[in-house]
Amino acid sequence: MATTTTNPSNDDTQSSLDVVLQLLSSLTLSHDDAQSIIDVITDQIQAAALPAVQPAPTVVVPVVAPPTPTVQAATLPAVQPAPAAVVPVMAPPTVIVQAATCPAVQPAPAVEPPAVIVQAAALPAVVNHPTPTARSGFYGFPHLPLTEVVVNGETRGQQHYRGFAFDVPRAAALGPFYLITRGSRVGVFETWQRTSPYVLGVSCSSFSRCKSLYDGLIRMLDAIDLGEAQWLP
């Protein structure tokens, strides 16, 4: 007698599918919607009918610890200390220093310094300028020679000092007075009108106003002493 074995899972699947089809037939659905629902249910039922996949058994691999190497301590030969070397200490030789015989130092003979003869420089003689006085109608120094000269129809007094001639004003002159040390005429003159013709237009002329007639005559002698007085063409 043959025995027929029926898979319970297939029967259940078919029964569930029939129930679903009956429910869908009672609903108002489009053909596409109904087909989509049937496909989804069929896929779910087939997936449930597959046998369960058993997980693979876990393989336990025993971990074997590596053997610990045993290091045998090498037996080293005992180090013998080096024999102590005895170094004899030599005494340093005695150094005998002979004192050098130095010749006797003879003292240097005394040198007499040469006699220095200082000659006194000849100083110029100091000239005392005496007070000018009026002589022969002209104002000048009484110790100096006085002559008369005619200049442009006018008689003028002229004195001489160290070979240099210079004009002096009249005794009645009131001033102001001017000293000309470089000009066409040289000396002391009264008023600018009598002075200007001898310096204006004369190249390298030199003149100045005097504080007084006495001041002008003293400065005239100083200019002659210094070589600053000069007659110009």
pLDDT-derived band at 4, boundaries 50, 70, 90: very low
Question: Is residue 19 in a domain?
Answer: yes
Taking 60 as the threshold, does the pLDDT of residue 56 lie above it? no
Interval 182-194: pLDDT, tens? 999 999 999 999 9
Angle at 211 between CA 124 and CA 195, to 5 degrees: 95
pLDDT at 214 over 50: yes
Position 54 in a domain? no
Residue 117 lies in a domain: no
Is residue 63 a part of any domain in this protein?
Answer: no
Q: Could you tell me the pTM of the whole model?
A: 0.47
In a domain, 44, yes or no: yes
Do residues 185 and 152 lie in contact, with contact meaning Cβ atoms separated by under 8 Å?
A: no
106 in a structural domain: no
- Is the Cβ–Cβ distance between 221 and 215 less than 8 Å? no
**Residue 66 within a domain:** no
The total domain count for the chain is 2
Mean pLDDT of the chain: 76
Cα(31)–Cα(39) distance, rounded to whole angstroms? 12
Across the range 42-71, mean pLDDT stands at 58
What SS3 class is residue 190? strand
The string of pLDDT tens digits covering residues 84-135 is 665 566 666 665 556 556 566 676 666 666 665 545 455 454 556 788 988 8
Write the DSSP string, 170-217.
BTT----EEEEEEESS-EEEESHHHHGGGTTT-TT-EEEE-SSHHHHH
Which residues span the domain enclosing 38? Answer: 8-49
Query: Has residue 58 been placed in a domain?
Result: no
